[in-house]
A and B are shown apart, each in its own frame.
Chain A
Amino acid sequence: MRDFRKSKRLLSRRQTLKGLGAAGVGLGLSSFPAPAVKAQSGGPIRFLNTETGRETLAFFDRIAQEYEELTGTEVIVDSVPLSESFTKITNGIRAGTPYDIGTVGFIGHVLLLADEGHIVPVNELTDAHQWGNKILFPLDGQVFWYPFDYNLSVIYYRKDVYEENGLSVPTTWDEFVANSEASVAGRRRGSLFPIGSNGATNWMSFAFMWAEGVELFDDEWNVLLDNDEMAPKAAAYLDMMARLYETMPPGALQASYADVLSNMVAGTLTHGPYAGRVLEAAHRDNPEVAAQLDIMPYMDSAGEQTAVSHGYDGWIVMNTDNLGPAMEFMRWMTNERMIDFLHTTPVHFQPARLDIYDNERWRDNPMIQQYGHVLEMNRRFITDDSVILTSIDTQGPAPDVRPGKIFESFVLPEMLQNKILRDMDSAEAVAQAAARMREVIA
């Protein structure tokens, strides 16, 4: 066998080790945090999509091809689930290959990107239209995204179960809990409102509290939750949720969007929160249930106020060297192909632009005609100022990242869990949540 130690080598062992050591140090130093760079220039428009339904993906394939034929500009569409969007966008920026257009579903992310100068105002696209309530989130008059839909969480209920049990649409918490209790039969449970530390709970389970008039911040961003006015309301909400929990199936503490959706579509719940996707899924998989579904807003304890939980999606235009072509593509898509896009998921994509509700072509869609009553009620929720339209991430006097931090740290779901899981006194659970909120936004 050849003895490598005795052979005449180009590099000595010492030199090899020194070389490898230097390479390691160099590599290590080179990977220390470095500022993000912009590198896009001229090439194809890179579009990050988060709507992954089959029809929507086909739509983007179609319009990318159409736009290239029309203008000669290539459009590359990448699609990821919404939960991956922000990481994908920021990784692109960090790697020097940012997307030119992105999709986001969390206003905190828009604010972060705007604050760091990674996205540009799109007023030239949005100013031409009328919009529903609380959807543009302007910063000093500048609008940094093009919202394409609302995803309002409302309460779906089964009309047939209501008829069988002689129930009427509730206007107070007591009535709602009573209806939920009365409709438990066999394997069908009264309701399912998620309680775990996840986005589903943040979105679906707190609008009862908003209807009661609870606000998280004052105009100076001080936490209000435990003050004399809000604390009793929040505590009453927790007491109500503890009663409602008794009518829920096992698993509420881990329930996700999918759990609520599948249970509603399967017909094992009388009440469940969601946006239009419930109707889309039930229409496809269980039309009998779909025909029996109707919606109501969340109500307060006294029957005086209603609320819906805010949800939304929109497009952002990134500050890349491809800005001009990207903005032109956005102009073309939002002017010429917006209805086609919305028709890919007709009920769930509740338009943010008010002119669309009266657009004949939009209304001609069979699904929209069939579930028109739901869409009309949803339209009222975004135009009627008496309906409270808010969510954890949109609380406060102005668009800001602080409510986003409360959302992401799951302070309010933990307040619910303290009550339901640990049977904590409601006032104590509220006080703990308020203290935690102050920590999070400090």
Chain B
Amino acid sequence: MTRWLLPGFLFVGALATLILIVGPALYAISLSFYEQQSLTADPIWVGLNNYATVLGSAEFWNALGNGFFYAGVAILLQVVLGIGFALLLHQSFRGRTLLRGLAFLPYLLPTVVAVLTFKWMIDGSLGIVTILVDDLGLPPIYWFETESAAMMSVILVSVWLWTPFVTTTFLAGLQTVPVQLYEAARVDGAGPIRRFFHVTLPMLRPILTVIILLRGVWMFNKFDIIWLTTGGGPLGATEHLPVLAYRQAFTLFDIGNGAATATLSFLVLMVIVTLYFWLFPMDEKK
């Protein structure tokens, strides 16, 4: 039995990867070389024309810029806030366990629930936030009424939803740092800030590298939040590459350009991830 166990597992894994990941990815890439005006139309081979069209459009570059901005700011805030909360929750105080559970709560919510709840809360007439602001005598908040406000709003929702992931991961890492290191630093006269920068951060660098990598990939590809809150608007202000690709393929039924945009998005991400690993290698050099 053991003779076939490892090859068997390998075969199942490889087959599943081929069918569920490689196959669809190849199919999506293959579509980018065809012109197809609906999901049922006969495709026409156009070579790299779709790529030329997409790269020549202002929409693509706007979406790429929006993607970098959205992902960059959201990750920055998630990491800073997440580490802050993790440090707080690492302290000893009454109710810490309960608070740790509550802090993880937003991450457990399905995105669609979180986004719809957020939209109800800020509804211009009926939202609880709107009514509260009105009761306080403050002017109404126009959450999505300008291009920058819309971007800030989707970032806000993203940060609220995914900061708990950073908090939890970082908190788990914090618990692995040997207490002796802190004690030694304290004996040497290091205050809390120096202990954080000279003990905590170096010890948790590998975890932080993974957190930023994962959050970067997820935020760059994040579709649902933007689609559900703004649909990429107003005037393309929050449209990033996944939304653009979806709109091209499934709203305008321009399958070829949608696939080309998705493929380019994949390539951009590949380059970024490669650069990231080059700049921040996971393994310490021996």
Report A's interface with B, CB cutoff 8 A. Answer: 2, 4, 7, 9, 11, 16, 20, 23-24, 27-28, 31-33, 35-36, 87, 90-91, 93-94, 112-113, 116, 118, 187, 189, 196-198, 248-254, 259, 262-263, 266, 268-269, 405, 408-409, 414, 417-418, 421-422
Contact = CB atoms under 8 A, between A and B. Distances in A.
Contacts of B27: 28, 31-32
Given A250-B140, A251-B124, A9 B7 contact: yes
A421 B34 CA distance: 37
Contacts of B266: none
A373 B59 CA distance: 47
Given A91-B39, A253-B145, A253-B234, A24 B22 contact: yes
Given A90-B40, A249-B125, A31 B23 contact: yes
Contact of A197 (B119, B125, B147, B231): B231
B22 A28 contact: yes
Contact of A32 (B30, B126, B232): B30
B26 A27 contact: yes
B14 interface: yes
Contacts of A405: 252
A35 B147 CA distance: 42
A417 B233 contact: yes
B274 interface: no
Interface in B81-132: 119, 122-126, 130-131
Contact of A93 (B2, B40, B134): B40
B38 interface: yes
The 5 closest A-B pairs by CB, nearest first: A251-B124, A249-B124, A250-B124, A31-B27, A90-B39
Contacts of B233: 196-198, 253-254, 417
Most B-side CB within 10 Å, residue of A7, A27, A35: A27
22 contacts: A2-B3, A9-B7, A16-B7, A27-B26, A28-B22, A33-B31, A90-B38, A90-B39, A94-B40, A248-B124, A250-B124, A250-B140, A251-B122, A251-B124, A252-B124, A254-B229, A254-B231, A254-B233, A408-B251, A418-B235, A421-B235, A422-B235
B63 to A, nearest CB: 14
Given A28-B26, A94-B40, A196-B234, A189 B147 contact: no
A250 B43 CA distance: 44
A93 B19 CA distance: 21
B226 to A, nearest CB: 12
B42 interface: yes
Given A27-B18, A250-B140, A251-B123, A414 B23 contact: no
B36 A2 contact: no
B126 A268 contact: yes
A118 B41 CA distance: 10
Contact of B134 (A90, A112, A187): A187
A271 to B, nearest CB: 13
Nearest to A13: B7
Given A189-B125, A251-B125, A421-B146, 10 more contacts: A94-B40, A196-B233, A249-B124, A249-B125, A250-B141, A251-B122, A253-B234, A259-B124, A408-B252, A417-B235
B262 to A, nearest CB: 15
Nearest to B250: A87
Interface string B119-159: 10011111000110010000011111111001000000000
Nearest to A87: B250
B169 interface: no
Interface in B1-57: 2-3, 6-7, 14-15, 18-19, 22-24, 26-27, 30-31, 34, 36, 38-43
Contacts of B6: 4
Contacts of A414: 235
Nearest to B34: A33
Given A27-B26, A28-B23, A31-B23, A250 B130 contact: yes
A328 B34 CA distance: 39
Contacts of A252: 124, 145
Interface residues of B, number: 52
Contacts, number: 134
A24 B40 contact: no
Contacts of A116: 38, 40-41
A50 B200 CA distance: 56
Contacts of A197: 231-235
Contacts of A196: 230-231, 233-234
Contacts of A421: 145-147, 234-235
Nearest to A27: B23
A93 B38 CA distance: 11
A220 B30 CA distance: 36
A417 B143 contact: no
Contacts of A35: 42
Central interface residue in B27, B150, B234, by most chain A CB within 10 Å:
B234
A254 B30 CA distance: 35
B71 to A, nearest CB: 22
A248 B140 CA distance: 12
Nearest to A196: B233
Interface in B227-286: 229-235, 250-253
A250 B31 contact: no
Contact of A24 (B18, B124, B234): B18
B36 to A, nearest CB: 7
Contacts of B31: 33
B3 A7 contact: yes
Contacts of B23: 27-28, 31
Nearest to B31: A33
Contacts of B143: 250-251
A263 B126 contact: yes
Select the residue from B24, B141, B235 with max chain A CB neighbours within 10 A.
Answer: B235
Given A32-B27, A90-B39, A90-B40, A27 B234 contact: no
Contact of B125 (A87, A254, A263, A417): A263
Contacts of A198: 231, 233
A251 B144 contact: yes
Interface string B154-198: 000000000000000000000000000000000000000000000
A253 B233 CA distance: 9
B9 to A, nearest CB: 11
B7 A409 contact: no
Nearest to B6: A4
A421 B40 CA distance: 38
